[in-house]
Amino acid sequence: MNSLADKKQYVSPQVPKYFTSVLVVGLVLLGISVIASLVFGSRPVSLQEFMNGLFSPEADSYGASVVEKRIPRTIFSMMCGAALGVSGSLMQAVTRNPIADPSILGVNMGAALFVVAGIAFFNISTSGQYIWFALSGALLTSILVFGVGSMGRGGATPLKLLLAGAATSAALSSLVIAIMIPRSYVMDQFRFWQVGSVGVADWGSIQTFIPFLVVGFFIAVVSASALNAMALGDELATGLGVKTSTLRLIAAIAAVLLCGATTALVGPIGFVGLLATHVIRLVLGSNLRYLIPMSALAGAVVLTISDVFGRLIGRPGELEVGVVTAFIGAPILIILAMKAKVRSL
């Protein structure tokens, strides 16, 4: 059970102590990451080319053209990072698991299975088709993991959910391989998507993604106060008028909507929600009215910076952002699991 001090942070109307400082630092880091994303890559650009790419796209310059093409990629990486950050904070709130993340709980692999099945059996090829298949897979996997994790005494404890997610991911990964091996054309199309990359971003991808981002973020913000009440315990939340079962379902749908749409368009990028949400929680506490929007900001920074690092490390090509986030996130997950003792929120 949470301590009294832990409970107070959920219901306190006061702005967290370091909120303004964290917001300023986050916005500065986001600005730096945006500039770095536009400037650095397989070919760095000069200041003049950077300015021309932003304000004079008609300028006859290769550098200006490069900057212009990097703009949708940068915007898309920020949007996807924000979606994964909010999804992570919602999943942690719903499961009361401080290390919950779409990749850890098997949601990304469920989306991947449905996408590869769609490619193999339904010949899907457009981003719109990818989204609906990925969302279906993510939703069904979430239900499966939560159902398995809820079996036995104690219900859905953090450790049981973590183990259920790991087991489900392993099983679904085997199914993905089983579908791909006899179908070389599926493997060719799927292998680039599976790594996780924002390099395919264009204005069409952004337009496709915006409705899912807006709806998911709106649900998350509206649900924040009720989720705070639920963190005090189901009995107390029910006494305050919160329908806990309905709230869990709505918040879980928002989380799946955000991570499923992101996974459909850029592939299964892991650990962004874990990193962003955990860092913000360490500084600001667990009040979701502040944790959710700040996790969105942190997620945008994490994914955009990771994409820049991938381009710098992989020159003259690039290292996909999913590899970078996994390389950073895996050891952090191990540290968190050891330090937090997998306790409930």
What was the pLDDT predicted at 46?
Answer: 72
Q: 128: part of which helix (H) or strand (E)?
A: helix 127-149
Residue 55 has pLDDT above 90, yes or no: no
**Secondary structure class of 196 (helix, strand, coil):** coil
Residues near 316 by beta carbon (within 8 Å), at least 6 away in sequence: 42
What was the pLDDT predicted at 1?
Answer: 39
Residue 63 has pLDDT above 70, yes or no: no
Residue 62 CA: distances (Å) to CA of 43, 57, 228, 277: 10, 11, 51, 39
- How many other C-beta atoms can be found within 10 angstroms of the C-beta atom of residue 173? 14
Q: Between 311 and 233, where is the model more confident?
A: 311
CB–CB of 94/246 below 8 Å?
Answer: no
Q: What mean pLDDT comes out for the span 204-230?
A: 91
Give which of 245, 230, 265, 256 is closest to 100, Cα–Cα. Answer: 256
Percentage of the chain modeled with pLDDT above 70:
88
Q: Between 12 and 266, where is the model more confident?
A: 266
What was the pLDDT predicted at 218?
Answer: 95
- Residue in the block written with tokens 């973020």: 217
What was the pLDDT predicted at 18?
Answer: 85
Q: What mean pLDDT comes out for the span 180-184?
A: 81
Confidence of residue 3 (pLDDT cuts 50, 70, 90): very low
Residue 324 has pLDDT above 70, yes or no: yes
Take residue 180 and report the two structure tokens written for it: 């791909």
- Pairwise CA distance, residues 65 & 45, whole Å: 10
Take residue 345 and report the two structure tokens written for it: 């929120």
- Residue in the block written with tokens 């996408």: 115
Q: What is the DSSP string of 13-41?
A: -SPPTTHHHHHHHHHHHHHHHHHHHHH-S
Residue 238 CA: distances (Å) to CA of 155, 172, 248, 344: 18, 36, 13, 19
Confidence of residue 219 (pLDDT cuts 50, 70, 90): very high
Q: What mean pLDDT comes out for the span 23-30?
A: 95
Q: Between 26 and 43, where is the model more confident?
A: 26
Q: What mean pLDDT comes out for the span 203-216?
A: 91
- Pairwise CA distance, residues 314 & 204, whole Å: 26
Take residue 197 and report the two structure tokens written for it: 């990359």
Residue 208 CA: distances (Å) to CA of 68, 128, 263: 20, 7, 13
Residue 335 has pLDDT above 50, yes or no: yes
Confidence of residue 342 (pLDDT cuts 50, 70, 90): very low
- pTM (two decimals): 0.84
- Pairwise CA distance, residues 187 & 184, whole Å: 5
Confidence of residue 268 (pLDDT cuts 50, 70, 90): confident
Question: Lowest mean pLDDT: which of 56-70, 197-211, 305-319?
Answer: 56-70
Angle between helices 19-39 and 288-313 (to 10 degrees): 30
Take residue 232 and report the two structure tokens written for it: 């005090």
Q: How is the chain split into domains, by residue range?
A: 74-340
What was the pLDDT predicted at 232?
Answer: 78
**Mean pLDDT across the chain, nearest whole number?**
82
- pLDDT, tens only, 90-129: 988 887 777 777 777 788 888 889 988 988 888 887 777 8
What was the pLDDT predicted at 233?
Answer: 77
What was the pLDDT predicted at 43?
Answer: 73
Residues near 79 by beta carbon (within 8 Å), at least 6 away in sequence: 206, 209, 210, 213, 300
3-state secondary structure 284-334: HCCCHHHHHHHHHHHHHHHHHHHHHHHHHHCCCCCCCHHHHHHHHHHHHHH
Confidence of residue 70 (pLDDT cuts 50, 70, 90): confident
Architecture per CATH, 74-340:
Orthogonal Bundle (1.10)
